[in-house]
Amino acid sequence: MAATAFAPASIGNVAVGFDVLGHSFQSIGDRVTARRVATPGVTIGAITGTTVDLPLDAEKNTAGMAVLSMVRDLKLDFGFELTIEKGIPLGSGLGGSAASAVAGVVAANALLPKPLTLLEQLQFALKGEQVASGSRHVDNIAPSLFGGLVLTVGIDNPNVKQIPVPPTVRCVLVHPHMVLNTREARSILSKTVSLSDVIWQTANISGFITGCFTGDLQLIRESLEDVVIEPQRQVLIPGFQAVKQGALSNGALGCSISGAGPTIFAWCEQQHAERVRDAMVAGFATVKMASDAWISTLDAVGARIVD
Q: Does 219 bind a second copy (CB under 8 A)?
A: yes
Q: Does 270 bind a second copy (CB under 8 A)?
A: no
Name every residue whose Cβ is closer than 8 Å to that of residue 167 and which is 6 or more positions away in sequence.
Answer: 297
Nearest approach, Cβ of 20 to a second copy (angstroms)? 4
Longest CA pairwise span in the chain (Å): 59
21 near 139, Cβ under 8 Å?
yes
Stretch that binds a second copy, among 62-70, 165-173, 208-216, 291-299 (CB under 8 A): 208-216
Which parts of 21-40 interact with a second copy (CB under 8 A)?
21
Question: Between the CA of residue 33 and those of 75, 125, 151, what are the distances in Å?
Answer: 21, 15, 28
Nearest approach, Cβ of 154 to a second copy (angstroms)? 7
Nearest to 174 by CA among 27, 13, 298: 27
228 near 205, Cβ under 8 Å?
no
**Is 91 marked within a binding site?**
yes
Q: Does 161 bind a second copy (CB under 8 A)?
A: yes
Nearest approach, Cβ of 202 to a second copy (angstroms)? 6
Stretch that binds a second copy, among 54-62, 72-80, 146-154, 295-303 (CB under 8 A): 146-154
Nearest to 263 by CA among 31, 83, 9, 49: 9
Q: Does 199 bind a second copy (CB under 8 A)?
A: yes
Phi-psi region of 257 (alpha: psi -120 to 50; beta: other; left: phi over 0): beta
Q: Does 46 bind a second copy (CB under 8 A)?
A: no
Nearest approach, Cβ of 112 to a second copy (angstroms)? 28
Q: Does 153 bind a second copy (CB under 8 A)?
A: yes
Q: Please give the angle made by the CA atoms of 190, 193 and 196, to the nearest 5 degrees.
A: 155
Q: Does 163 bind a second copy (CB under 8 A)?
A: yes
Stretch that binds a second copy, among 99-107, 176-184, 199-207, 252-260 (CB under 8 A): 199-207
Residues in a beta bridge with 160: 152
Nearest to 30 by CA among 87, 101, 90: 87
Q: Does 117 bind a second copy (CB under 8 A)?
A: no
**Is 92 marked within a binding site?**
yes
| Among residues 9, 20, 54, 279, the one that binds a second copy under rule CB under 8 A | 20
Amino acid at 155: I
Helices 273-285 and 240-248: angle between axes, nearest 10 degrees: 160
Specify binding-site residues for ATP: 89-99
Q: Which residues bind a second copy (CB under 8 A)?
A: 17-21, 151-154, 159, 161, 163, 189-195, 198-199, 201-207, 209-210, 213-214, 216, 219, 222-223, 228
